[in-house]
Amino acid sequence: MGLMSIPLAEQETTISFSRTENEAFIWTNDRTTMTKLDRLCKLAPELYRCVDVGYSPKKEIMDKRYVIADKSRISFRRTKMTRKIADEQK
C-alpha cells in the first residue's frame, strides 16, 4: 500500500488539544509530518501512537491520525536563534 499523491499546497496538519486534558491529537495528510510522527511512534510508543489510517479507493494511504500522551511535547517557539561562536571556539 503506497501513499496517495496529494499536491504540496493541499498537504496540511491539524493539532488539537483541550486545556483540561493531557493528550493532544494530530491529523495530517502531509507526507513529511507522517514520516516524523511514524518515527516517533517507533521510538517512544508510550508517548506517540498512530490511531487511524485513511485510505483512498485504490488502498493508498491518504491521511493519518495520531495521539500524543503528553501535550507538553508540542511547543510553540519564537524565531530561530543563531549563535555567535567566537573564533577561539571554532
The predicted pLDDT at position 2 comes to 62
H or E element at residue 35: helix 31-43
The pTM assigned to this predicted structure is 0.78
What does DSSP say about strands 13-17 and 24-28: parallel, antiparallel, or unpaired?
A: antiparallel
Residue 22 domain boundaries? 10-72
Q: Is 49 part of a structural domain of the chain? A: yes
Q: Is 80 part of a structural domain of the chain? A: no
Q: Is 77 part of a structural domain of the chain? A: no
Domain count, the chain: 1
More confident residue, 89 or 45: 45
Q: Is 87 part of a structural domain of the chain? A: no
**Residue 66: other Cβ atoms inside 10 A:** 22
Q: Is 63 part of a structural domain of the chain? A: yes
Question: DSSP for 49-73?
Answer: EEEEEEE-TTS-EEEEEEEES-GGG
Residues 67-80 have a mean pLDDT of 89
More confident residue, 11 or 23: 23
Q: Is 25 part of a structural domain of the chain? A: yes
